[in-house]
Structure 1
Amino acid sequence: MNEVNERNIPLTSAEIGSLWTGYMNDSMSKCILGFMLEHIQDADTKSVVQHAYDLSSNHLDTLTAIFENEQFTIPNGFTEQDVNMNAPWLFSDIFCLVYVNHMAKAGMLIYGGFVSLSYRDDVCNYFVQALNKTSNLYKQSLETGLSKGIVSRHPYIDVPKETDYVDSKKYLSGLNPFSDKRPLNAVEISHLYQNVLTNSIGMHLCLAFAQTSPSKDVQDFMLRGKDISKKHLKIFADTLMKDNIESAQTNVYLSDSTTQTFSDKLVMFHMDLLVSAGMGNYSTSASASQRSDLMINYERLSFEVARLAKRGADIMIKHNWLEQPPGLKDSKKLAKNKQKG
Structure 2
Amino acid sequence: MPKHPKMSASELGALWVTYQKKTMILRLLELFIEKADDPRGKDLMTGLWKKLRLKVVEIEKLFEAEGAIAPKGFTQEDIYLDVPKLFADHFDVMLCRILKEISMGMYVLHLTISYREDIIKLYQELSMLTQTYYYYFTQYLLEKGALLHPNHAPMPTSYDIITSRDYMKGTNFFGHKRPLNAVEYGLLYHSIETNIIGKWLMTGFAQCAKDDAAKKYFKKGQELSDKILKDTLEVLMEYELQPTTLGGTVTLSTEAPFSDKLMMFCSFLLCSFSLGGQGFSTSFNFRNDLDIKTVLFGKDIYTFTRDGVSLMMSKGWLEEPPSMVH
With structure 2 as the length reference, what TM-score do the two structures score?
Answer: 0.97
Aligned residues of 2:81 and 2:257 also touching (Cα < 8 A)? yes
Distance 2:235 2:40 in 1: 35
Counterpart Cα distance in 2 of 1:158 and 1:54 = 43
Equivalent residue number for residue 211 of structure 1: 207
**Counterpart of 2:151 in structure 1: which amino acid?**
P
Task: Give the conservation status (yes or no) of the 8 Å contact 2:195–2:225.
Answer: yes
Letter aligned with residue 247 of structure 2: N
Shift of 1:154: 2.1
Deviations 1:57-99 (A, max 9, x none): 1221111111111112110100000011111111114111211
> What residue is the counterpart of 2:2 in the other structure?
4
Q: Deviations over 1:17-38 (max 9, x none)?
A: 1100110001111111101111
1:243-275 CA-to-partner distances (Å, cap 9, x unmatched) read: 221111113111111112111111111100011
- SS of the aligned residue for 1:209 comes to helix
Q: Distance in 2 between matches of 1:175 and 1:307?
A: 29
Aligned mates of 1:73, 1:240 — CA distance in 2: 50
Q: Which residue of 2 aligns with 1:21?
A: 17
Q: Is the 8 A contact 2:80 2:257 kept in 1?
A: yes
CA deviation digits over 1:132-156, x for unaligned, max 9?
Answer: 0110001111111111111222221
Unaligned runs of 5+ in 2: none
User: SS state of the match for residue 260, structure 1?
Assistant: coil
More deviation, 172-181/63-72: 172-181
1:114 aligns with 2:113: no
Which residue does 1:242 correspond to in 2? 238
Q: How does 1:43-54 map to 2 (within 5 A)?
A: 43-54=39-50
Aligned with residue 164 of structure 2, among 168, 193, 200: 168
RMSD: 1.4
The equivalent of 1:295 in structure 2 is 291
Report the 3-state secondary structure (helix = DSSP H, G, I; strand = E; otherwise coil) of the residue aligned with 2:100. Answer: helix
Runs of 5+ unmatched residues, structure 1:
331-341
Say whether the 8 Å CA contact 2:9–2:324 is kept in structure 1. Answer: no
Larger Rg: 1
Q: In the alignment, is the contact (CA less than 8 A) between 1:286 and 1:295 conserved in 2?
A: yes
Q: How many angstroms apart in 2 are the aligned matches of 1:177 and 1:58? A: 60
Which whole-Å CA distance do the structure 1 matches of 2:284 and 2:170 have between them?
15
Deviates more, 1:106-115 or 1:168-177: 168-177
Aligned to 2:282: 286
The answer as to 2:26 corresponding to 1:30 is: yes
Contact 2:111 2:120 in 1 (8 A): yes
Q: Which runs of 4+ in 1 moved over 6 A?
A: none
Rate the CA distance shift 1:38–1:292 in 2: closer, same or farther, 3 A.
same
Aligned length: 326
Cα drift, residue 241 of structure 1: 1.3
